[in-house]
Structures are given as structure tokens and as C-alpha cells.
Amino acid sequence: MTVLVTGGAGYIGSHMVLALLDAGHEEIVVLDDLSTGFDWAVPEGVKLVVGDVADQALVTQTILQHRID
């Protein structure tokens, strides 16, 4: 299962990513515009897509490209 975490480069989102990793999820994709988050907050091995969650085309492309469940 591939999980999409929006805002995953911010404080709360990055902790959500860590919790998912701790729970055994291996396929995680973060979508964040980095307006308040940081790329270094996304753990190594987690895919980062930089963009706005309001960009419908980008969200659709991300879901299809990374096979988000």
C-alpha cells in the first residue's frame, strides 16, 4: 500500500510520516509546497513531490504515478 501524506514536510506531517514508517509502511509519498515545511524534514527513502495540494492536475498525476492506494 502506498500512502500519500499532504503537508508531510511540516512539523505535524513529518511526524505522521515517521509514525507510518514505524508502523511498517514502506511506500510513502509526501506532497508539500514547502511554504512552511522543509525538504530535510522528509525522511530518507520517502518520495517528496513539491507542489500545492490545490493543484488538481498535480494531485491526480501524483496519485497515478505513485499508485497511491
Fold category of 2-66 in CATH: Rossmann fold (3.40.50)
Chain segment 25-44, per-residue pLDDT in tens:
999 999 999 999 999 999 99
**Mean pLDDT value across the chain:** 97
The percentage of the chain sitting over the pLDDT mark of 70, rounded to a whole number, equals 100
- pTM of the full predicted structure? 0.94
Beta pairing, strands 2-6 & 27-32: parallel
Work out whether strand 27-32 and strand 47-50 pair parallel, antiparallel, or are unpaired: parallel
The whole-angstrom separation of Cα 2 and Cα 11 is: 21
